[in-house]
Amino acid sequence: MHSNLLPGLTSAATLLGLAQGQSQPYHDWAKAYEAAEALVSPWTTEQQANISVRYGTAPGFVPFEPSDGPTGVSGGQGVSGWVGGQTIASSWNRTLLADHYGRMAVEFREKGYNMLLGPSTGPLGRSPLGSKLWEGLGSDPYLNGKLFGVSVAAIQEQNMISCGKHYLANEQETNRTSYGSDDPAMRTSSNLDDRTLHELYLWPWIDGVANGMGSVMCVMNRVNGIIGCENDHIMNGVLKNETGFKGFIVPDVTAPLDKTAGLNGGLDWNSGYSLSQLMAAVNNGSISESVVNDHALRIVATQLNLLLPPEEYASTDETTDLNVRDAGSKDFIRRAGSEAIVLLKNKNGTLPLKSPKSLGIFGKDAANLATGPTPQSDFSNFAGDTYDGHLITGGGSYSPAPYVVSPLDALTARAAEGQGFGYKYILSDNWTVTPPESTGEGFFQTSGVSVSEYASESEHCLVFINAFGKEGSDRRTLADETGDKLVNDVADYCSSTIVVMNNAGVRLVDAWIDHENVTAVLNAGALGQESGHAIADVLFGDVNPSAKLVYTIAKSEDDYNGQICACCECDYTEGLYIDYRHFDQAEIEPRFEFGFGLSYTTFSHSNLTITPTTDTTTLAAYATGNVTEGGPSDLFDQILTITASVSNTDDIAGAEIAQLYLSFPDAAKAPIRQLRGFEKVYLEPGVTKTVTFPIQRRDLSIWDEEEQGWKIVGGDYGVLLGKSSRDFTAEGSIEISTFR
């Protein structure tokens, strides 16, 4: 930190705190803005402008210290390697995500940073080939938003600023920026209608704003023809005015090109201008003093609202080698990882493994090979469809990890503990399948190691494959032929073949899923530093899997509709119909649907009850309340309470995720079904609990493009309770009448 300025800021902050009868952080935007006004108003225009310049100071103001890394402190030493966003989202556990991001935020704070560039809500998932989807929180806006909101709140509870990423419609890496060119037309333009913008891509951001999010990172790509970090409509019009966002906007790298347009369009900090360049734009009238003042107020108010006084944070210059890993972090990461593993197949109860005698271990993903423990940073080049070793994270923003526990490490530890099994391994995806001709005779005869030999000699065969995705270059396939062949080669010789996929996004399985000897499949994602232990915990039944897919796994890549666009106009002609919404609308049978996931126990649902909490026969069609954080205040009014009973019908304790979907009246022209509630409940054998789904006005609304407002369309609303987006256990309906 800039210690020479600390006394000035401490004094100013203390005086402001005394004046308000409250000390920093305020945790009250109105009081924070009042205090910010008192601090900023005596400044000259140049002083106000200076704090929107990176590392710029002003009387009584010290700049904040940001650090990137949605999976940990970027490039940091002595920090943890956390579970990837899309992976931990598969837990569907709000409490787990809050704990995860709260613990991560503590490491940032102890390193001297007070702004965490994360979590990532976008990309959402227009195309499964989008290579940064592993950072996000799933392909449904409702699920994504709920998890995004609690994660933002958890970070900021640690006296940190959460900077949500990436606003808005950053759905592919291809041509997201124009490397080596200042021509904006060389950047992809996400061209989408206003309803799609609001109901899909803006939806999770509303949850972030409603949870007090302090900062937002705008995108490098264009949105409807205008670079995201220069786009007045999406930054000022939508984010700041419509949703009532009180914080400040920062740019992603290389954005904007037109810095004046960026600052006028809503970009508050680090436009790329020096102070002299910024003041030249002010003096020639290109940027008004009121714009400069607004930027300064937003930056100062956010700090006063969320951060401790600056002397409470360590200097980053002094923490480079400081170990800030909490003793309990590794155990938490292991537990979080195991809760995020989705069990896709379990034929004849293959899992959990029951006192196995011999295991065959196959595939490069089983061990730490080549280089590591995490991928090298490379923001522009394609780095392959798979990772040459055990995958614990995707690539980008320099994801840290102090070490990696691979599956082979974890299995070795269990074998060493005397659990009664031995193993053989082939740490390659492309090994000889059948034995070569033998050499020698008698005692000296040998035939060499082969997949068929090791597989046929093993009671169970564990095949580890992965799918890699990284910042800067989109994926080129959703399945690699070499990995598919390895699974089939092992399964041809092993009657109990268990496939474990560590994947940065969707990985197709149809090349082998119906093989009679493929008896179990785990979709393990990017599990962080304790990956191997988390996988072993599920394999051996120490953890009963409870995760569900946060995207759809198709039978064929051609079944998806959103594609990566070539340079440089990308028309979102699919509109609202991405992921399961598309599969439902197009009547395409997926291999594994959104929300799917098995357990080692069984559950039943019953007693679906729909109770209005207001008069649903005379509802105003439009939300018209004063704008608060998130939008019109009445947008968050509760309209319905829906309850159901969930029972554990087996003899093993476990957790079930009850999912609630709504179907809208035909006049709404909405997707066939949309997720509007989920609740994860842990149940001992034979126990029944009640789950509750509060339904807000927002959950029943569509975006009316003509009226530019959130509207409830009157008519019959279907209510579907289920275990996934296609497996429903109870149905009901309610009639809603509206007036203008």
Phi and psi, residue 674, nearest 5°: -140, 135
Q: Is 378 a catalytic residue?
A: no
List of long-range contacts for 313-318, beta carbons under 8 Å, 24+ apart: 313/1, 313/65, 313/109, 313/112, 313/113, 313/114, 314/1, 314/110, 314/111, 314/112, 315/1, 315/3, 315/112, 316/1, 316/65, 316/111, 316/112, 316/113, 317/112, 318/112
Q: Which residue has the tokens 């209005």?
A: 612
Query: DSSP string of 100-134?
Result: HHHHHHHHHHHTT--EEE--B-----SSTT-TTGG
DSSP character for 610? E
Phi and psi, residue 544, nearest 5°: -85, 115
**Encoded tokens for 684:** 């001992």
CA distances from 690 to 238, 407, 608 (A): 38, 37, 10
Report cis status (omega within 30 of 0) of the bond before 256: yes
Number of neighbours of residue 530 by Cβ within 10 angstroms: 29
Question: Measured between alpha carbons, how far is 221 from 175 in angstroms, rounded to an integer?
Answer: 8
CA 169 to chain centre: 14
**3-class secondary-structure state, position 87:** helix
C-alpha Rg value of the chain to the nearest Å: 27
**3-class secondary-structure state, position 442:** helix
- Choose the catalytic residue: 252, 294, 480, 579: 252
Report cis status (omega within 30 of 0) of the bond before 694: no
What are the catalytic residues?
Answer: 252
